Amino acid sequence: MSNIPEQLRYAVSHEWISAEGDTGTVGITDHAQHELSDVVYVDLPKVGAKFVAGAVAAVVESVKAASDIYSPVSGEVTEVNSALVKNPELVNSDPYVGAWLFRLKLSAPAELEALKDAAAYKAQIGE
């Protein structure tokens, strides 16, 4: 069904993170966007907001429902994907590249180890 990038880490709640150095880029998985269906609005966090792992960081609204998006790790938001404000449908068409939600400076990089690798995430969603 979905194409799960091997290099990412995954939260049980269907967020992905790509980490480079002390910066993490966060989005939602193809599986999550498929379950939501047509995304019509994305409420992004403010730059400078600080989150602990598992805290609600953003909201994605679709024609079906609004879903909380959780920060997979702790950190401070350094950038948001402003393209999603005008084009929230990018979440449906390009969840792993064009539709990243926010970037954060990791405050506890070791938390990445608690997230699932691609094989474990595939098992979670039944692939």
In what helix (H) or strand (E) does residue 118 lie, and over which residues does it extend?
helix 118-125
If one compares 1 and 9, the residue with the highest pLDDT of the two is 9
Mean pLDDT (the chain) is 96
Q: Give residue 19's identity as a one-letter amino acid code.
A: A
User: Is the pLDDT reported for residue 124 higher than 60?
Assistant: yes
**CA–CA distance, 24 with 36 (Å, rounded to integer):** 24
In what helix (H) or strand (E) does residue 83 lie, and over which residues does it extend?
helix 83-86
* Global pTM value: 0.96
Q: What confidence category does residue 79 fall into, taking pLDDT thresholds of 50, 70 and 90? A: very high
Burial class (CB in 10 A: 0-12, 13-18, 19+), 82: exposed
pLDDT at position 2 is 54
Q: Which domains does the chain have, with CATH numbers?
A: 9-111 (2.40.50.100)
